Each structure stands twice: as structure tokens, then as C-alpha cells.
A and B are shown apart, each in its own frame.
Chain A
Amino acid sequence: MAENVLKLIGIDSYIYLTILLFSVGILGVLFRRSMIVLLMSIEIMLNAVNLLLVVFSVYHQDSAGQVFVFFSMAVAAAEVAVGLSILVSIFRNAGSIDFATLRNLKG
């Protein structure tokens, strides 16, 4: 079964897809100013990596990679929950989630 999947569509296509997804995520992180979008972009990057893990796990016939993906999805869910709650509290305090206006870290 698994071999079929990779025969159907070659592994390099998967790698290109993950690179594309990851780049979309990076560009989103770099160029969007809304923090919601930022978080979403991070999720996209994370999922790109997850996908890559799954693909390689199939390729190597090793289930460890897929186990890792479950872990990382669980952690990502937790992280999003924490991230969103921080976002909410930032919004309450600053009245905005546009991080270009948040410059408290200025040296």
C-alpha cells in the first residue's frame, strides 16, 4: 500500500510540496502584520514539517516518524492554545494585534 502511494506520486513531489508549504508559512510570518495570520503561518510551517516527517517515515518504512507527528500535533495544539490566549491578553492591553505597533522590546 505504502509503496503504491510513493509510486503513484514520487517522493520528490512531496518534498517540493513541503518546501512550498514551508515557504508560504515563512513568507506569511515575515510579511503579514496580524498576529492571527502569524500564528496560522506558523501552523502551516509546522504542518509542512509534519508532512515531511510522514513522507520520510513511509519512505524508510519506519513508523517512528509518524509517531513523532502525533506528538508534534499535540504540542502544536497546546502551543496554539497558549499563543491565542497570549494574543487575547495582548489585545486587551494594547487594543491591537498588529505587531508592527508593539515595540516594547525596543532597546
Chain B
Amino acid sequence: METSLVLILILSPFIGFLYNLFAGKKTREASGVIATLAVTVSFVISVYLFQQVYVSKTPIVVHLFDWISLERFTIGLDFLLDQLSLLWLLFVTGIGALIHLYSIGYMHDDEDKDRFFAYLNLFVGFMMMLVMGGNLLVTFIGWEGVGLCSYLLIGFWYKNQDYNDAAKKAFIMNRIGDLGFLIGMFTLAYIFGTLDYAHLKADFSLAPLTSPTVFAGLTLAGVCLFIGATGKSAQLPLYTWLPDAMAGPTPVSALIHAATMVTGGIFLVTRMGFLYNVIPDVQLLIAIVGAATALFAATIGLMQTDIKKVLAYSTVSQLGLMFLALGVGAYSAAVFHVVTHAFFKACLFLGAGSVIHGLGGNQDIRKMGGVKSVMFVTFVTFFIATLAISGIFPFAGFFSKDEILLSTFEHNKLLWAIGSLASIMTAFYMFRALFLTFFGKFRGTEQEKHHMHESPKTMTIPLIVLAILSTLGGLLGIPGYSWISEYLAPVLPGAPAEAHHLGALEYTLMGVALLGAIVGIAIAYFLYISKKNIPSADEEKEGFGKIIYNKFYVDELYNALIVKPVYALSSLFANVFEKVIAYIVDGVGSLTGYISTQARLIQDGSVGTYLVAFVVGLCAILTYLFIL
């Protein structure tokens, strides 16, 4: 019963994918509905299974068949539905279904929408595989699969080569991380002889991990898996693909590049928490990378003028905060933030998509303004989500972010300061985007102004649902009594995280965080509402602002340090090495030819010479045989 339910759960989106891929052309208008239905089926089953596991508190394990055999062990196509994966499944399928619904409106005029919905279904399928994997390898299937879908969807409008470049970049960057994932996986397999989460966890509690070689191996595995996570979750130094990934249709940005796929790294580290808990050095590394990314991306976010890029950098920054939480061992706080972030970031992206849709494709916030009068539903939902991401009480982001900062404060004051600074910056640039987009006067063309309209119902309903979730999501983990940490306690490593005792310190920290957010908002209000500043045009930027606007020239740096040398090496190989090798091989032939030319000269045609040679040779043989 459960096996077949799990099968339907995982296969439903794949069937949707196959249907839309092969038969989608004929039923193009219905493709969106079919895709939405496929995901909804999964959502319903997820809810059912969630409720079951919630009550029984025992995870559902499904072993389909043996997949890959190795000498020491066999890896099965296994699924593990425990509290952690079910939580992820819920919001992947739930938000996934909402975004599918939204896409019906958003992609209404696209002639290739059957392909779009096929890919979107495929993505949901792989994402479910990622979180449902019963061993690292099944997770890896999903891991690579979502990377593929991301590639396909970023480059969905394939006629534009810039988009294709962005897609390619995302794929390759992800693959760098994937190599890390693979090596980490191999190391664990080499040490423990299994990739099964349950077995690994059991081995960890049994095996003495004191031997230095094993410890070194674990550290290696931890670092490598984390490299995988940085690739997928767009952390330093592999984050550059995510802002570029905004080339894809906006629902894709909402689903893949904000709510679900990019949280894959968080999922992996949480899943492997039992590993990271025994290697504190790597944990510190994770925390530092997370904090650095949070601050770095927030800084870049300050100056962006493309509304989707603003959201992209804020995603990178928020993911950094989540890694910060993972690094200090606050797994449930990180997961909590993943969930709330999925709500409000999806809402923000869909809201931005709604604006872009209403303005006929314009994404530049310098050319927006005053949109709120026309698109009221979009405005309200976007406003709520912005409050949530800025960490304003009582919206969802406040609680989850607060939880992270609290846990960090207990571990490391410096990292807390960095995290808080990033949060303040977030509040500032999110409200900057909000003010520039919705307030003031419209700064676009007359034609755009005329075209401006509120989006259809299929688009606004998901917005409203997500806005409600962004408002109430905080209830999952109110300080003092955190449902989510209690729920996750059986699957998280170490002792169940105790709810923070609410003392004066905690209230002070909350107050500081809230105050910081309000200061950020106030600055944004002062600059963009009171003084009516508009960010300057690209070429007018100078000094530090220009550097930030150009994203610290990281792309250029990578280009110069990695891409160009690889091409140079390729030229070197093709033009020098290949020639030399071919020359040597041909040289053997030429040498034979040369020797034969020389040897020919001996054959001068004179019988006399031959006879002399003959006689001399004969004498030599006779001498050798009889005299020597």
C-alpha cells in the first residue's frame, strides 16, 4: 500500500512530463492543467503520508530494486520518507502546484508552453527524488536531475544566446559542485561500505571515529559534500550562476531558483548532520562561508536595478544565513528558514513576475514606479512578503531569521554581527525595490503605462495563498515553543534542540534585529520616497558603487582565471601537442623512408660490387664458423 503510494507520488510528475513531452503539442492549451494536476496529486499524497508519519513517528522506507552493484555493497533505488523529507516534499509539491497554477496565466501566450510544463513537471519529479532518496546516490539522481531541469528552463527561450549562456553556466557551475558531491560520496562509501543514510547514521553512532585516517577521511567527505552544497545552493565561490539564472521565465526563478532547488544544499547538510557534528572544523567553515555569502550577496543586492536580480541576490544572501545556521549546528533553525523563505521568496518572485507580466516584459526598477495603483493585489502580497523577508514582526521571516541569529549569537559574536548586518541590508534593498516599483510616478514609456494591467486570477490566487503563508508561517516556530524543532528532533543529529529559554538577552537580540530592519527600511524610505532618488544610469556609476554594481567583477575574475586559461590550454594542446605527437608518429614513417633512400645507394647496380660484398660476407661467415 505504502509502496504503491510512494510510487504514485514520485511517478506522477514524471508521467506528466512524458505526456506533455510526447503528446503536449496536440493538447497545448491543456498542458498547464495536466501538469498542475500531476503535481497536485503528489501534493495530496504527500499530505497523506505526512500525516501518517507525523502520527506513527516511524519513517516509511521503500526499496524498489537493486540499482548499482559494487564489490563491497549494493546500492538500491531506495526511498526514505521521514520527517525531514516529508517536510520538504510538502512545500516542494505545495508551492510547486501553486507555481504551476501561476504559470498557466504567466505562460499563456507562449507557443512552447507544453515544453515548459513538461520541464517543470520533470523538475518537481527530480526534486522529490532528491529529498526522498534513501541513500546518497538516489539523492544524487535528483541532485543532477534538478540541475538538468534548471539548465533546460533557464535556457527555455533558446533563441536568445545570452539565456543559453546563462543556462550553460548554471549547468557547469552545478557540475563543479556535483564532482564534490561524488568525491564525498566515494569517500564515505570507501570508509563505511554503504551509502544508505540509515546505515551511515548507525555506523556513526557505533564506530569509534578517533583514528586519524578515518577522521581525515570524514573531514574530506564533509568538505566535498559541502562543495556540492555550495554549487547547488549558490554559495561562495560558486554562486555566480544564480543571478544569471534569472534569464529563465519568472515562475522558474520562483520555483527552482528561490523556493526549492537551491535549498538542496541545506537539505544535504541537514541530512548529513550526523557527519558534520563530528567534524567541527568543517562546521566552522560552513558557518564562515554562509556568513560571508550572506554579507557579500547583500552588498551586491544594494545596487542592482533589475528586479529579478535584486531578488536573486537576496536569495543568495538568505541561503548564506541558512548555512550560517547549519554551521553553528542549528539545523532546525535552518530548516525553519528554508520553509519560511520558500513562502515569501516564491511570493516575491511571483509578484515580480506579475509586475513584469503587467508591464509587458520590463524588469528594470528604474523604469517602474506607481504600479500599486493598477496592480493592487500584486502590491499587497509583495508588500507582505517584503515585510516577511525584512524580518518585521509578526511575519514569518522574523521568527526564522531571529532563530538563526539567536543560535549564532550563542556560538560566535562576530558571525552574528555579520549576519545581522546582512539582514539590515536585506531590509534596505528589499524596500528600495518595493518603493521604486510600486510607489511614486510611473517612469516607463506611455505604451507600457497603457498596457499595465492586473494579472489574471490564476496568477493572483497563488500570490494570495503565498502571502497568507508568509504571514502565518512563523507560527511553525515561535520562540519558546518551536513546533518545527520538536517535529524534526527524531531525524536531526545530537540532542533535540532545546527551545530557547526566553530571557532578557533573547528579547534584546530580537529587539536589536527588529530595530535594525526598521532602520534599513527607514533609510530606504528616506532615499526613495522622501527624496525621490532614482538609481543612476549604468554609465554614470563611479567609485565603490560601480564596483558593487558590477558585482565585484567576480564573473570577470573567473573568466580570466579559469575559462580563459582552459581555452588557452585547449589551443596549446590542439596546435602544439597534437602537431608534435602527429609529427613523431609520421616521423617514424619518414625515418623508415629516409633509411630506405640511404640503403638504396648501396644497390649501385654493379655486379662487381655485389660480388665483392658476397665474397666478403662468405669469408666472414666461414671465419666465424671455422676459425673463431
Contacts and interface: CB of A to CB of B under 8 A. Distances in A.
Q: Do chains A and B touch in the complex (CB under 8 A)?
A: yes
A103 B606 contact: yes
B612 interface: yes
Contacts, number: 31
B607 A30 contact: no
Interface stretch (B246-254, B578-586, B597-605): B597-605
Nearest to A104: B605
Interface string A75-107: 000000000000000000000000110111111
Contact of A105 (B601, B607, B611, B612): B607
B607 A102 contact: yes
B605 A26 contact: no
B615 interface: yes
How many residues of B sit at the interface, in one of the four size bands? 10 to 19
A105 B607 CA distance: 8
A30 B602 CA distance: 17
B608 interface: yes
A29 interface: yes
Contacts of B611: 29-30
A107 B608 contact: no
Nearest to B597: A107
Contacts of A106: 603-605
Contacts of B600: 107
B612 A99 contact: no
B466 to A, nearest CB: 91
A102 B606 CA distance: 7
A78 to B, nearest CB: 21
Contacts of B606: 99-100, 102-103
Interface string B590-628: 000000000011111111100110010000000000000
A26 B603 contact: no
A107 B605 CA distance: 7
Nearest to B602: A107
Contacts of A100: 606, 608
Interface of A: 26, 29-30, 33, 99-100, 102-107
Interface of B: 600-608, 611-612, 615
Given A26-B615, A103-B606, 18 more contacts: A29-B611, A30-B608, A30-B612, A33-B608, A99-B606, A99-B607, A99-B608, A100-B606, A102-B607, A103-B604, A103-B605, A104-B605, A105-B607, A106-B604, A106-B605, A107-B600, A107-B601, A107-B605
